[in-house]
Amino acid sequence: MPSPTLKRDASADLVAQVQRIEDQSDKWSDSLALAGFTHDVATWGVLTQIIDVIEQYITKYGHGSQEQRETMMNLGRAGSLLFDWLRKDNLPDHGSWPRWTQALADATREAVFAAHNYEIFVSCFSAWHKDRMAVEILSPTRLRFSVPPSQTDRRFRAHQQGARIPGWPSTPDNPVDKSFVNDADVNELLSQLWGRVTLEGALAMRYPDDSELLSALRDIYEVWLQPMFRRDPQLDLGGYNLGTFRQFFAVLLSVCTVHEYICYAWSKTHGRYPFESAVLVKSRSEWVGLIAGLCDVEEGQVRLMITDLTFGSIRPLDVYIHPFVPSLDGQSGS
């Protein structure tokens, strides 16, 4: 079997074989069943599918585990590819309110994992073209990429992928199976809110916003975020500064934390995950009003920050960089 070869050392025939497979991989989105749904249903379905996969990893490996973190990073990039494809594919824009049907579940699962596989191809082919990875031809349709046998390269790559020495102490960038918030007052408020959850269907539920709970979480997250926002709070980010964004982000984390808890508790109580309520769907004005009401930030600045974090406002990068995904009319976000 031929040994792994860098592009600079490859023959013209080998380069041509790799290029043929790369060209084929670029057709990853052809014939996806997801194209048969409306734009907003497909977008909502992809977000729901991503949540479902993450929850499966949490159940299997624990909250905050390395496996969960790797899955979230992988799906964040895969989701970005999918949403960019959906935005450009001109899917129909009218349809009924989304329901989590078996057909939608199957279509989004196929699409999410197709995008995930393609993202890996993009990474490998990019590294091959820059002589960072070597390749072996296993068959006319199969390649094997590998890092050149340098101990330094392998060490750096392992660290970047989250590999740690067994038993290595937990660090802020590598938490081990822990919840970020475990506060007696917060837990009591969460318990009270759980008592106000109402069923909206077999896979849906509803609960009111609790300003006391969200404010308590906001204060905790404000402190927790300080080491991550270590630059000058007055650093100008274009219409708002870093300190203002930290206030905004602490509230957004609080809202998401409460929703994650309620969905988890609902699934434990009812034996099934509330797929039709998993994604937070609000109009832009609702998001602005909710966040501005919980932090000392002007509504105009909150609106600007939401715009900056909305998918499509800049070149697509990652779902976790663009946590707001707009509906086709741009008036609501998830």
Instruction: Please give the biggest Cα pair distance in the chain.
Output: 68
Predicted TM-score (pTM) of the model is 0.85
Report residue 323 as tokens. 């946590």
Q: Tell me: the pLDDT tens digits for 109-167?
A: 999 999 999 999 999 999 999 998 999 999 888 899 988 766 666 666 666 666 666 66
The domain ranges of the chain are 7-160, 184-333
Q: Which string of DSSP letters, residue by residue, matches 103-148?
A: HHHHHHHHHHHHHHHHHHHHHHHHHHHTTSSEEEEEETTEEEEE--
Q: What is the DSSP letter of 277?
A: G
Strands 142-146 and 204-206: unpaired
Q: What average pLDDT does range 190-207 have in this prediction?
A: 94
3-state DSSP assignment of residue 236 = strand
Strands 198-201 and 142-146: unpaired
Q: Which carries the bigger pLDDT value, residue 54 or residue 3?
A: 54
Strand stretches in the chain, DSSP E: 134-139, 142-146, 198-201, 204-206, 282-283, 332-333
Q: What average pLDDT does range 94-99 have in this prediction?
A: 76
Q: What is the per-residue pLDDT for 177?
A: 46
Q: Tell me: the pLDDT tens digits for 301-311?
A: 999 999 999 99
Q: What is the per-residue pLDDT for 19?
A: 95
Calpha distance 305→239 (Å, rounded): 9
Lowest-pLDDT choice from 18-22, 40-44, 311-315? 311-315
Residue 333 class from Cβ within 10 Å (0-12 exposed, 13-18 middle, 19+ buried)?
A: buried
> Do the beta carbons of residue 23 and residue 154 sit within 8 Å?
no
